[in-house]
Structures are given as C-alpha cells and as structure tokens.
Structure 1
C-alpha cells in the first residue's frame, strides 16, 4: 500500500504542471461557462470504493489488502476550497503468522465504520465545464478530523470472538477513536454534472487497539476464564510457553493507523451563486423581446 501511495503522489506531481500549462490556455477557464461567472458554490454527492492497508503491531508479514466503501458530500464554498464530509465502511486485518513475531501467534480482523469532516484545496478554481471542453484534471490535497469504530475480532477453534470484551491485556479500551485523515488525489471532470477522482490517504488514529495489541501480557495465572486466557496468549498453539505477566506483547509507543486507495464518483447536486441562491443549470440566456407599438 505504501508503494501505491507513493506512486499516486508521483502521478499527481507529474500531472500538475501539465494540467496548469494546458488548462490555463483555455479562454475564460477560470469562469464557469456552464452556469455563469457568478457561480462560486456547489454541492456534490460522492460514492466510492477501494482498498485499505493497516499499520500496527501485527503487520510484519507485509501488506494485507482489504476493502473500503464510502459515501459523502463535497460543498464548495470558496474559490479552490471545499468542505469534505464522508462516511465509510472498511475492513482491516493483520497476523503474526509467517512474520518475525511468529511465536506470539496473534491475529485479528475488523469491520469498522468511519466518519470525518475536513477541508479540500484544489489546484484549479474550476467547476463543471461545458460539454466540448474535454476532460479537465484537477489535483487536490485535503485533511480533516473524524472518528472510527474499534472492533477487532479473531477466530479460535472455528469460533469468532470480539476481542474488546475479553480485555486480553486487562485494559478497557473504547469502541471508538478519533482519527486525523489526510491525503491527495486527482479529480476528473468528464461532463457538466459527472466526474470521478483517484485518491490516496492515510489515517492517524488516537488508539493503539485497532488490532487489540498494545502493551504487556496479563499472565495466564491471573486469568480465570479459559477462553480469555487462550485469546490473550496464543503462543502455546505453536508450541511456545505461556508468557509471564508483564512480558512485552505490543508496542505502546506507536498508535495504529491505516491507508486507503480509492476511486470515487461525483455527481453535482446543485450549484449556487455568490448570494447563496440556487442557480438554474443552463447556459441559455433569455432576453426580453422589444414591444412594437402599432
């Protein structure tokens, strides 16, 4: 995933000067020809999907690709700047199997919901060109603040167990956490109302328990519930001894996070003029016919 994100950044960097050179040559480019020069606000609906990759204590094996689906709103309220809100459903997973910490033998999966709001800055101040102008490419960056649910689970003897309730490290952590998402992408305007974007992003979280691994072992002698003891220390499943209480289980100095790479489709709901009133989506100008007196 990190290589895909780096490749996305490289593509955006290469596209930016090309777009600037080609599009600024168009007559009246920085005016909205379709809706008139007064348009400086618009509202769009977005829907998309893509892949996720988790970063935490259980990703030594390599990239484990999962899926994400999202829906959101883009509200452009100033030149170049839009309010970006989005809600997503995504999956993450990680494992020690095959990695340097194979003796620990921990693994997790999760299905989470995420929501955030942020600001997006577009390189070009353009909105929904007329048909016939061709494809318009618009690089952008964005950042925001949001939340994610924290709901790791694993399988033991073909049974699924949601780990938060078992307190595998004797810690009662929250089922939700704050996130700081940020990213960059390229928007493609293909018609008066329809477009799509390619976007790479990363989420810093304020939780170290997306994977249920953070600090130290509780010690099997201190756990009376048999299932909880097996979930807390799975080393014996690969012929390793039970870990003593206080032995290192994870790295508490690094919070978990996850990256996304998505394609999103956009649909213009309505443009607004500089007074905040809806503007009729037509380029036809009506003029009053002169009255001929007889």
Structure 2
C-alpha cells in the first residue's frame, strides 16, 4: 500500500508539473466556473480488524454508506480545486472477518474484537483532468477521467459492542493503557471519471483512499495493558477481558486470564486507512457573463 500511495502521488505531481503553462493563459476567467455536488459512497477501512493482518485487506461485508457535499472551482483546462465535507462509518469484527480454521487468523478470531467509528471529514484536494477542457462549461468533454490528491482533517469516535449489545466509546477506557487522538490529518488521493449528463449536470464515479497517521481508528494497535488492575471494571468488560465467556486469548489461541496481560493485541504495525468509493452528482453554477459597456 505504501508503494501504491507513493506511486499515485508521484504521478499526480508529475502531471501538475508538465501541464502546459499555455493552458492557464488560454483559460480566461470567463471560462472558469464553479460546481456544487452531493456524494453517496461506500466506506470501508484497512486495519487490524480485517480478514488479513496486513494492508490492504478489507471485508466487503463491513462496508457502510458515506454522505457528503462538495464545492469545486475550475482554474485551468485541467486543474480544479475541490472542498468537501462528508460523514460515514467504518466497522470491523473479528468474529466475521477472521477464519478460525486459518492458522494466521486464529489469533484474531480468538481475540474476538469489534468496533465501529463514525467519521466526519473536511477535505481540500487538487483535481487533474486527463482530458482538458479549453472551452467554457457548455462545451466540456462528455467523459473525463481524473486524478486527485490533497489534505483532509477527520474526527471520529471508535466504539465497541459489549455483552449487552450496547456500543460504548473505547478511547476513554484506555483499553491498551494509552491516550490517543480521535481526530487527525489524512491524505486523500485517488481517481475517478465524470460523465456529462447535460449542460448543467455531471455524474461522477470515484474511488479515494485516505492515508491517516493514526493506528487507532479501530482502537487496536499494540498490546494489552500490562497490569489488569490498571483497567477499570468498565474497560475490563470490553475487548479482551470478558468476551465469549473467557478471560482472554493468548497468542497460541487458548483462553487463559494469566496469559493476556502484556501480550500482543494488534498485529498490524501500520497506520489505519479508510477508503470511499461511489458516485457524485455535480451541478454547474453557470458563470455570470458581463456585457461590454459602451460609451
């Protein structure tokens, strides 16, 4: 995934640098325009509670919807800037993702963790169209593939399902004995394509990855707390101390309260990612054309 991340950003940067300067000179302000959009996407994540303890690995059954709104300004025939606000959910469950018959997955199956995290995101990205539009918005191409990358801020709140089927916020419980931020910075990047429906509307499909710098989107990263007494009674009810009628899972897959503390809880050792894939309906705000003044 790191190679894919580096390759995509390098390709986008190279595209921006080689875009002819003449394009910007020919694309006067009279041809620039804005658009607003609504997005409906499917959302998933890469992390510790996935079918495989590596990136990329995701469970399609954990996919949840994401809704958003966007505002886009076209600067040149190829380059646009887009701001977006979205809200969606990522989920994970060892009971559904890990195969108890797979030797590699048995640790995670016995771990029996689950989470959900509702994430709000505010993003700003640069879009590079592979097919330029040197005309006004009315004469734009019918189909335009594009690449994008930028910066985003996100905020979430990972929660776990307890034995009473209630979701409880996990960060305050310090299930690994650590404090971590529920909000952070992500790098969104990806690709998509827009199709011209008519003079005013475009329909787009896009897949976008979010590289975070946080391994706790799922509240799982490192080891169980070294001392069980340091956990509150509330925290002990979740994630690893009192699940499926046992006290804890050791690395050998057995249940023994004495082999839990200080043992590995997460096996990913990678920051978590989330991904969105879906559709955007854009409405173009027709620019106002000023009539020449005569004296």
Q: TM-score, normalised by structure 2?
A: 0.75
- Is 1:255 aligned to 2:271, yes or no? yes
Higher normalized strand content (fraction of residues): 1
Out of 159, 163, 174, the position equivalent to 1:167 is: 174
SS at 1:172's partner residue?
A: coil
Aligned residues: 243
| Partner residue, 1:84 | 82
Where in structure 1 are there 5+ consecutive unaligned residues? 3-29, 31-35, 272-277, 289-294
For residues 110-135 of structure 1, give each alpha carbon's deviation from its aligned partner in whole angstroms, at most 9, with x where no partner exists: 111011111000122225335xx9x7
Are the aligned partners of 1:105 and 1:238 in contact in 2 as well (CA < 8 Å)? Answer: no
| Partner residue, 1:51 | 42
Are the aligned partners of 1:54 and 1:93 in contact in 2 as well (CA < 8 Å)? Answer: yes
Are the aligned partners of 1:179 and 1:206 in contact in 2 as well (CA < 8 Å)? Answer: yes
| Partner residue, 1:104 | 111
Out of 267, 289, 295, the position equivalent to 1:279 is: 289
Distance 1:221 1:146 in 2: 37
Are the aligned partners of 1:51 and 1:260 in contact in 2 as well (CA < 8 Å)? Answer: yes
Higher normalized helix content (fraction of residues): 2
Are the aligned partners of 2:182 and 2:217 in contact in 1 as well (CA < 8 Å)? Answer: no
Are the aligned partners of 1:104 and 1:235 in contact in 2 as well (CA < 8 Å)? Answer: no
- Is 1:93 aligned to 2:91, yes or no? yes
Where in structure 2 are there 5+ consecutive unaligned residues? 2-22, 53-58, 99-104, 247-254
Q: CA deviation at 1:258?
A: 1.2
Q: How does 1:181-220 map to 2 (within 5 A)?
A: 181-219=188-226
Q: 1:229 to 1:220 in 2, by over 3 A?
A: farther
Distance 2:151 2:28 in 1: 33
| Partner residue, 1:155 | 161
SS at 1:237's partner residue?
A: coil
Q: 1:149 to 1:52 in 2, by over 3 A?
A: same
Distance 1:148 1:81 in 2: 25
SS at 2:237's partner residue?
A: helix
Distance 1:173 1:250 in 2: 15
Are the aligned partners of 1:103 and 1:235 in contact in 2 as well (CA < 8 Å)? Answer: no
Kindly name which structure, 1 or 2, has the bigger radius of gyration based on alpha carbons.
1
Q: 1:77 to 1:244 in 2, by over 3 A?
A: same
Q: CA deviation at 1:229?
A: 1.3
Are the aligned partners of 2:225 and 2:262 in contact in 1 as well (CA < 8 Å)? Answer: yes
Q: CA deviation at 1:172?
A: 0.9
